[in-house]
Amino acid sequence: MNPLSSSLLDAAADVPVLVGFSGGLDSTVLLHLLAHAPGRAPGSLRAVHVHHGLQATADDWDAHCRRICAQWNIPLQVVHLEVPRDGGEGLEAAARKARHAAFERLMAPGEWLALGHHQDDQAETFLLRALRGSSVDGLAAMRERRGFGKGQLWRPLLHAPRSALERHARQHGLRWIEDPSNASDRFDRNFLRLQVLPLLAQRWPHAAAALARSAALAAEAEGLLAAQDRHELQTCQREDGSLSLARLRDLSAAQRARVLRAWVVQQNLPPLPGNGVRAIEQQLLSARADAQASFAWQNVQIIRWREQLHLRRPATPWPAGWQRQWDGAAPLSLPDGGTLHLHGTQGFATPLTVRTRQGGERIRLPGRTHSHALKQLLQESTLPPWQRPYLPLLCTGDEVLAAGDCLISDTLQHWLEVNQATLRWQPAGGSN
């Protein structure tokens, strides 16, 4: 069977497609196949070329891609990117990250992003991840199709060897660009491509296909495990999004590791690093019940509090001495990204002062004859400790009328009831 048969392209025959077009062999063959697919509707195909500016000939690549797309009557958008060189992840990874972010911004709702990765790329990815000690999730390597941005990321050539792409290109007289950086084996992927895979092929001619097949089997296993992970996560997760330590302890160590990773993915946060699960097992699960042990990575924290694990990003600190006058007529934006709302009324007759805690405040709650220290009341409350520094105080003069919507004074509670109004504090991050 021809690995580049038109059946490979049938999956997206009825959807708009955006092709990532570098001008290299892989994307040129992909764009040619899609441009000449008999079932593709006119106007449903477009291309994007990312100009990184990393090569001296980048402008020539730009011009080449424009000529090809004009010849095949395909709309082309060229995006210029500045790739950060000091992110600590390496230039190749930084360029890939910036490129994918650009693709995501450009995609229209329901559109599929088509990339030219092929079987040899899949074999390289599998080997790279195996050498990094990846789990079955990582060994699944690249997927033929998955959700991405406003639509889908699609790799229709993933089962075709590079040799088949070369034959197609020569048969149809296609011209493509050779990236000079591909000839250097200083990058890990290039080293595998130039040194390791050719050596393996001398002994095992179908090594690339076998490695890609292993990636596909890993993907099948990962799919089954992911379904179990979602079920276990549902049993451990509370309404506020935290995880119950009691439920987590009922799982095996391997199940806990997968649930923790699935939890982080669910919140669209950076993946939990390899040492994360071990740190959580050793430092959080075994910590004292009254401890606030935590594990942090990439500006994310997992915190143990009251027999639960909470996942959060640290909030933006409030400026020293910050305060505002607020009449309640419109929501008030707070420095950390939270908001205050007053529902059911036009606002306060006299604006209140909203400020941060300074220490020593007291508040008299409904039904109480005397005031209590705000610090003590907060310690007794269900408000997590990491949210307390960002709790907005509503004051008139020196009198504290409310601490967010957690603690409301007798005076303000009476006013709210008379005016059939409700005070709501929405902390940064979505819930309190």
- Known binding positions for ATP: 22-27
DSSP string, 34-84: HHT-TTPPTT-EEEEEEE---STTHHHHHHHHHHHHHHTT--EEEEE----
Contact indicator for 246, 305 with CB cutoff of 8 Å: no
CA angle 323, 329, 331 (to 5 degrees): 60
As annotated, the binding site includes 22-27
Is 110 exposed, middle or buried, given 0-12, 13-18 or 19+ CB atoms closer than 10 A? exposed
Q: Amino acid identity of 173? A: G
* Largest Cα span, the chain: 91
Element (H, E) at 17: strand 17-20
* Per-residue tokens: 63: 């011009």
Distance CA(342)–CA(100), nearest Å, equals 41
**SS3 state at 135:** coil
112-114 and 17-20 strand pairing = parallel
- Order of strands, sheet of 332-333, starting from the edge strand that comes earlier in the sequence: 332-333, 339-343, 422-426
Per DSSP, 237 falls in state B
Per-residue b or e along 318-339, where b marks 16 or more CB atoms closer than 10 Å to that residue's CB: beeeeeeebebeeebebbbebe
Report which of 390, 302, 383 is spatially closest to residue 338, judged by C-alpha positions.
390
User: Which backbone phi and psi does 69 adopt, to 5 degrees?
Assistant: -70, -35
Residue type (1 letter), 156: P
